[in-house]
Amino acid sequence: MNDVAHRSFLDRLAQAVGRAQVLTDPQETAPYCTDWRRQYSARAECVVRPASADEVAQVVRLCAHEGVAVVPQGGNTGLCGGSVPTGTRREIVLSLARLNRIRDLDTLNNAITVEAGCVLASIQAAAQASGRLFPLSLGAEGSCQIGGNLSTNAGGVNVLRYGNAREQVLGLEVVLPDGRIWDGLRGLRKDNTGYDLKQLFLGAEGTLGVITAAVLKLHPQPAATATAWIAVEAPQRAVELLAALRARLGDRLTAFELVSRVCLDAVLARVPGTRDPLGAAHPWYVLAEVSDVGEPAALAASVERALTDSAESGEIRDATLAASEAQAAALWRLRETIPEAQFRNVKHDVSVPVSKVPALIDEASRAIERAFPGGVVYAFGHIGDGNIHYNVGASDPEANEALMRGRAAVNAVVYEVVAALGGSISAEHGLGQLKREEIRRHKDPLELELMRALKKALDPAGIMNPGKVI
Ligand code: FAD
Ligand code: ZN
């Protein structure tokens, strides 16, 4: 037996990453051990903060040797408890925060090579500084990390035009559960040499390996953006408007978000400095964004024409077009602060085909009213992608807490409607701990069997983020 084997686990981790990067003091580890929604909290043996793929590999090898579970963590903004320990076995939190270098930016290949711990907003800024666009954009972009975005296959507000996180990726570098490093950092737009292995790790929520770096696609930076706040009668009108605007504006339509009056009221009441952009109250709103490389005035004129036509044909009730960047930011703030304006209620992140969103909202709301009279529905989100954040609460605080305690019953009502419409119970947030059991009722048994087979092939010892996803 050699010397190394005699040293304690913590000592060997310290040797790999430096003693200061192995945190054991409960005060220091606490923020890493509780999730963003404060629904999950459990202690880990330690938090390890490597600074390179090699250091990640050493840490994972040590954990594999000891049979200790590895919980990868990015910005810890995930909404399903995937990035924190479960407390059911020996676990470490592996923070990727120090892998935060931009390794390369190739404007002719329109690609950027980044490490997993780069904060999403910093990648957007680097792309912008080189006259390019990295289009992934979501409310948590100031703190979430690209490794977390790719591991949850995050969506956000630009999916309509650019696709979700998965679609931004050309190549990956991954530390496998046995500690080997897979260098798949290729910036190729075409590569048909067998299975597309990177897809396995995208959306895997850290259960198959640790993403340490990625090559991402960049896009032309739009020169003009038009942002409109549009009032509509009902979700059906919003879906029809989407089709009409796409026919008129094509791919220039980059975002199309739904906001209910109930959500807007919550924002106006609880978020300082917000105001209703339209004079009168309306039952539903759409926040639409259109962007292009051409002249700003030309784009604004064509959006205005499209909206005028829609108003004349009765598709919309009222609309306002932002006249400045500050006005556009104020409109986006109304949409992006909805999560904090209704923080504590029963959440659902569901998707159906875009054409079925109106049925989803109508039928789920009727079912909620029947099962939980007085329940308040907060429906909002990415209607252009068929993805609605359908949250249920109650105005009375006590009734709200009762709903929270009985949330499984609320979930069941909503998920039944989603299933009947051929939808998904997790459109963009993943499964984590939150939906690990629920998914078994909704996913085809053969699909679950294939997922388990992949897990077993890549992580036979089951050390990568156990207790999450499957
Ligand atoms: P974490 O929360 O740290 O981790 C998420 C999962 O990925 C965990 O399972 C973790 O183990 C795993 N993981 C993290 N890094 C790695 C890695 N390098 N290798 C392997 N596994 C890893 N999500 C959307 O999709 N769309 C939205 O519009 C959206 N809006 C949000 C708004 C707010 C205000 C908040 C708080 C969250 C929002 N989210 C949204 C959810 C969340 O921001 C995303 O899921 C984000 O992608 C998570 O990134 P993260 O770095 O915080 O990951
Ligand atoms: Zn969302």
What is the percent of the chain where pLDDT is above 70? 99
| Residue with CA closest to ligand 1 atom 13 | 148
Structure tokens at 433: 């701990």
Ligand 2 centroid from CA 149, angstroms: 12
Q: What is the DSSP string of 189-204?
A: S---SS--THHHHTTS
Identify the pLDDT of residue 1: 34
Ligand nearest to the CA of 116: 1
What single DSSP character describes residue 427?
A: S
Distance 23 CA to ligand 2 centre (A): 32
Distance CA 400, CA 387 (A): 24
CA angle 87, 90, 95 (to 5 degrees): 85
Q: How do residues 87-96 score in pLDDT, each as one tens digit?
A: 999 999 999 9
Residue 128 CA, ligand 1 centroid: distance in Å: 22
Residue 222 per-residue DSSP state: P
CB neighbour burial string for 245-280, b if at least 16 within 10 angstroms, e if fewer: beebbeebbbbbbbbbebbbebbeeeeeebebbeee
**Amino acid at site 450:** L
Gap from CA of 313 to ligand 2 centroid (Å): 30
Residue 220 makes CB contacts below 8 A (sequence gap 6+) with: 132, 133, 293
Cα three-residue angle 391-395-397, rounded to 5 degrees: 100
Which atom of ligand 1 is least distant from the CA of 77?
Answer: 52
pLDDT of 124 > 50? The answer is yes
State which ligand 1 atom lies nearest to the alpha carbon of 428.
25
CA separation for the pair 301, 196 (Å, rounded): 43
pLDDT at residue 75 in the model? 98
Residue 329: its H or E element: helix 325-336
- pLDDT over 80 (residue 5): no
| Arithmetic mean of pLDDT, 261-266 | 98
Confidence category of residue 294, pLDDT binned at 50, 70, 90:
confident
pLDDT at 288 (0 to 100) = 98
Q: Is the pLDDT of residue 6 over 50?
A: no
Write out pLDDT tens, residues 151-176: 999 999 999 999 999 999 999 999 99
* Nearest CA residue ID for atom 25, ligand 1: 154
Eight-state DSSP code of residue 221: P
Q: Which is the closest atom of ligand 1 to the Cα of 382? A: 28
229: CB partners within 8 A, 6+ apart: 277, 278, 285, 286, 287, 319, 320, 322, 331, 334
- Closest residue by Cα to residue 69 from 450, 440, 459, 452: 459
Q: How far is the CA of 255 from the centre of ligand 2 (A)?
A: 12
Ligand in nearest proximity to the CA of 149? 1
Q: Mean pLDDT of all residues in the chain? A: 96
Ligand closest in space to the Cα of 257: 2
3 pLDDT above the threshold of 50: no
- Ligand 1 atom closest to Cα of residue 211: 19
Atom of ligand 1 nearest to the CA of 205: 9
The pLDDT, as a whole number, for residue 7 is 59
Which of 55, 73, 435 for mutating ligand 1's site (highest number of atoms within 8 Å of CB)?
73
280-308 mean pLDDT? 95
Closest-lying ligand 1 atom to the alpha carbon of residue 164 = 25
Q: What is the pTM of this model?
A: 0.95
Region 238-257: what's the mean pLDDT? 96
Pocket of ligand 1 (CB under 6 A): 36, 71-79, 82-83, 96, 116, 138-140, 144-145, 147-149, 151-152, 154-156, 205-206, 210-211, 339, 428-429, 432, 465, 468
pLDDT tens, 183-238?
999 999 999 999 999 999 999 999 999 999 999 999 999 999 999 999 999 999 99
Cα-to-centroid distance, 142 and ligand 1 (Å): 12
- Asked which of 5-14, 107-116, 311-320, 352-361 is least confident by mean pLDDT, the reply is 5-14
pLDDT at 444 over 90: yes
Q: Alpha helix (H) ranges present in 86-214?
A: 120-129, 146-151, 159-162, 198-201
Give the pLDDT confidence of 327-342 residue by residue, as tens digits: 999 999 999 999 999 9
Closest protein CA for atom 36 of ligand 1: 77
pLDDT (0 to 100) of residue 344: 92
> Among candidates 166, 386, 164, which has minimal Cα distance to 257?
386
Cβ 291 vs Cβ 222: under 8 Å: yes
Are 81 and 40 in contact, with CB atoms under 8 Å apart?
yes
Q: How far is the CA of 435 from the centre of ligand 1 (A)?
A: 15
Which ligand 1 atom is the nearest neighbour of the CA of 96? 18
Q: How many helices (H) and strands (E) does the chain have?
A: 18, 18
Which residue, 247, 269, 267, is CA-closest to 259?
Answer: 267
CA distance 220 to 287: 23
Residue 382: nearest ligand to its CA? 2
Residue 156 CA, ligand 2 centroid: distance in Å = 5
Tokens of 195: 């299975």
How much distance in Å is there from the Cα of 158 to the middle of ligand 2? 10
Q: How far is the CA of 93 from the centre of ligand 1 (A)?
A: 15
